[in-house]
Amino acid sequence: MIDPQHHHDSNFLRRIIQPGLLGLMDGSVSTLAPLFATAYATGSAHIAFLVGMSAATGAGISMAFAEGLSDTGELTGRGHPVARGLITGGMTFVGGVFHTLPFLLKDLTTALYLAYIIVGIELIAIAFIRYHFLKMKFWLSCLQVVVGGILVFLSGYFIGSA
C-alpha cells in the first residue's frame, strides 16, 4: 500500500521544489558571467545593473518556456506545465536579480563586494534546499554548488578583464 504522506511529499518535490530549485540554480549561476564581465569590462555599476536585469529577465522567460514545454506532466507526474513554467521562470528571475541589485549603487567597488556576499548567500541557500528537501549531505551540496558558481564567476571575470 502506498503511504499517503510519502505520495504527497513526492508530488510536492516533483511539482514545486524541483522546478523551483532548478530555476533558482539557473538564475543564480547563469547570470553571474554576464553581470560580472560587464562590471569588469565597463567599470560602470549602472551598465552592469542593466545587463544583470536583462540577464535575469531573459533567463527567467527562457526557463519558464523550457520547463513548461518540456512535457505535459501527464506521463511524468510533474504537474501542470504552466505551473511548472511559472515556478521555474519566477525562481530563475529571483536567482538572477538579487546579486544584480547592488549595482544600483553608484560605487562599483561597493556594488561588487555586496554582490559577492549575496552570491555566497544564494549558493548556501541552494545547498540548504538540496540538503533539506533532497536529503543530500550539506557540505557535499555546498561544494558542488560553490564549484559551479566559481567556474561561471571566473568565466565572467576573465572575459570581462580581457
Q: Distance between CA atoms of 96 and 60, rounded to whole angstroms?
A: 8
Q: State the pLDDT at residue 78.
A: 83
Q: State the pLDDT at residue 41.
A: 94
pLDDT at 8 over 70: no
pLDDT at 1 over 70: no
The total number of structural domains in the chain stands at 1
- Return the amino acid letter for 117: I
- Residue 60: which domain range? 4-161
The C-alpha cell at 107 is 560605487
Q: State the pLDDT at residue 3.
A: 57
pLDDT digits (tens, 9 = 90+) for 34-75: 999 999 999 999 999 999 999 999 999 999 999 999 888 887
- In the chain, the N- to C-terminal Cα span, in Å, equals 61
Work out the pLDDT band at 2, boundaries 50, 70, 90: low
User: In angstroms, how far apart are the furthest CA atoms of the chain?
Assistant: 62
pLDDT digits (tens, 9 = 90+) for 102-157: 999 999 999 999 999 999 999 999 999 999 999 999 999 999 998 988 998 889 88
Are 126 and 24 within 8 A, CB to CB? yes
Q: State the pLDDT at residue 14.
A: 87
Are 59 and 31 within 8 A, CB to CB? yes
Q: State the pLDDT at residue 11.
A: 87
Q: What is the mean pLDDT of residues 4-19?
A: 79
Q: State the pLDDT at residue 6.
A: 58
Q: Distance between CA atoms of 57 and 93, rounded to whole angstroms?
A: 6
Q: State the pLDDT at residue 128.
A: 95
pLDDT at 23 over 90: yes
